[in-house]
Structure 1
Amino acid sequence: MKKSTLLHLRIPFSFFLMPVFLLAVAVSEHISYENLFLSFLILHLLVYPASNGYNSYFDKDEGSIGGLKVPPKVTKELYWVSLIFDLIGLILALLISWEFMVMIFIYGLISKAYSHPNYRLKSRPIIGWLAAGVFQGYFTFILSYIAITDTSLIQSWTWDIQIPGILSSILLLGSYPMTQVYQHEEDSKRGDITISLKLGVLGTFHFTSIAFFLASLGFVGYFIVYHSLSDAIVFLSSMTPILAYFGVWYLKVRKDRSKADFTSTMRLNFLSSIMLNAFFIYLWLS
């Protein structure tokens, strides 16, 4: 495998998508640890990297992208490796259940439509935004839950499972535009009208802060009702560093729009992922 192919798979970037899976683990009462390990492997080492590589192949970015400040030129190998990763993921998914495999297949189709020239959801601000938020949030949460608990899809239709799934999408619908805030110039040149481009730099910050507030309020209510007040307090405490960083960065961007750059965005992603992953692991263990 070429170095450029490995870099474009962006396997470490899966860390940023891990909170949804860990939330599913945290709210699962009966866990199949064999399925937990296998589903984690399928999502984070196969499906997510396959999606990254496939989209990179069609985007052919020259500027910074999530996880890569200076992306190398893509080759045809990246296209085929992405499809092979997807195929391996589907075969392994069948070892868990046919429902899990079908959901992984659907996720793969939607993720490919994001950058494929025939569909290119990325160039459609509302549809692209909804697809990313719903499928990386709620949809991934549910498929993770049925794998981890070794249950059927219909058994996830209870409020104690549906609510955190919905809240994970609200959180992602708010944070997703922030991942595009430094790409306005390149997206404009390519004709990709993203949700962040429509909102503008400051509008993206305002939109994300509102969605983050609503999601946090929802999570606090969920933890108080289905877990405990102490869990809600720990959750709010874990969110404090994220809010502090976001606030300081916002003030810098108000003075200088160029501060809405790749490095600052990745720092926010990294901090958010660390705090959310740590909290959901705490919730699971407690």
Structure 2
Amino acid sequence: MKKSTLLHLRIPFSFFLLPVFLLALSVSYTVNTVNLLLAFIILHFLVYPASNGYNSYFDKDEKSIGGLKHPPKVTKELYWVSLVLDGLGLVLSFLISMEFLLMILIYGLISKAYSHPSIRLKKFPIMGWLAAGIFQGYFTFLLSFIAINDLMIHDTLEWSTQIPGILSTLLLLGSYPMTQIYQHDEDAKRGDTTISQKLGILGTFHFTAISFSISTVGFLYYFIAYYSFEVAIIFAAAMMPVLLFFGRWYLRVRKDSKAANFESTMRLNLISSLMLNGFFVFLWLS
């Protein structure tokens, strides 16, 4: 495998998507250890990298993208490797259940529709935003939950399961525009129109702040209703570093829009992922 192909798979970037899986694990009640390990590998080492590679192949970015400050030139190998990884993910999904396999197949098709030039949801600001938020949030939460607990989809209809799934999407709908904030010129050059372009740089910050506040209040309600007030307080404390960095970054961007750059975006992603992953691991262990 060429180095450029491996880089464009952006396997370490899966860490930023890990909170949804850990949320599903933290609220699980009958953990199937084999399914847990299989689902983790399928999502974070096969499906997500395949989606990254497929997206990179059709985008052919020349400037920074999520997880890669200087993306190398893509080759046809990247396209085929991404399809092979998707295929391996489907084969392993069969070992969990047919329902899980079907959901992984749907996720893969949506991720391809997001990038492929014949559909390219990415060029439609609202559709692209909703597709990313719903399928990387709620949909991934549900497929993770049914795998970890060895359930069928109809077993997830209780509010105790639906609420965290919905909240994961609200969190992603708010944070997703921030991942596009430094790519406005690159996206415009390809003819794509993202939600962040429509909002503008400061508008993206304002939108994310409002969405983050709504989802945080929702999580606090959920933890108080289904766990305890103490758990809600710990969650709020875990989010403080994210809020502090976001606020300081916002003030810098108000002075100079060039501060809305790749480095700060990745730092925000890293801090939020570290805090969310840490909290959900704590919740699971406790």
| TM-score of the pair, normalised by structure 2 | 1.00
Deviations 1:229-257 (A, max 9, x none): 11100000000000000000000000000
Matched residue, 1:30: 30
Does 1:79 pair with 2:79? yes
Structure 1: runs of 5 or more not aligned: none
Moved segments of 4+, more than 3 Å? none
1:172 alignment partner, SS class: helix
Q: How does 1:167-186 map to 2 (within 5 A)?
A: 167-186=167-186
Aligned-partner Cα distance in 2 for 1:232–1:213: 14
Aligned-partner Cα distance in 1 for 2:168–2:141: 8
Aligned-partner Cα distance in 1 for 2:57–2:237: 40
Deviations 1:5-48 (A, max 9, x none): 00000000000000000000000011001110110000000000
Deviations 1:157-201 (A, max 9, x none): 100000000000000000000000000111111111100000000
2:115 alignment partner, SS class: coil
Q: How does 1:214-253 map to 2 (within 5 A)?
A: 214-253=214-253
Matched residue, 1:147: 147
Aligned-partner Cα distance in 2 for 1:259–1:68: 18
Q: In the alignment, residue 210 of structure 2 is paired with which amino acid?
A: I
Matched residue, 2:132: 132
Aligned-partner Cα distance in 2 for 1:186–1:31: 43
Q: In the alignment, residue 258 of structure 1 is paired with which amino acid?
A: K
Aligned-partner Cα distance in 2 for 1:76–1:190: 19
Q: In the alignment, residue 212 of structure 2 is paired with which amino acid?
A: F
Aligned-partner Cα distance in 2 for 1:252–1:224: 35
What's the offset of the Cα at 1:266?
Answer: 0.2
Q: How does 1:1-286 map to 2 (within 5 A)?
A: 1-286=1-286
Aligned-partner Cα distance in 2 for 1:185–1:224: 43
- Give the number of equivalent residue pairs: 286
| Higher mean displacement: 181-190 or 129-138 | 181-190
Deviations 1:251-273 (A, max 9, x none): 00000000000000000000000
Deviations 1:44-97 (A, max 9, x none): 000000000001000000000000000000000000000000000000001000
Among all aligned residue pairs of Structure 1 and Structure 2, give the percentage whose two residues are the same amino acid: 69
| TM-score of the pair, normalised by structure 1 | 1.00
Deviations 1:142-170 (A, max 9, x none): 00000000010000010000000000000
Q: In the alignment, residue 86 of structure 1 is paired with which amino acid?
A: D
Structure 2: runs of 5 or more not aligned: none
The Cα RMSD (Å) is 0.3
1:114 alignment partner, SS class: helix
Aligned-partner Cα distance in 2 for 1:32–1:229: 29
Q: In the alignment, residue 129 of structure 2 is paired with which amino acid?
A: W
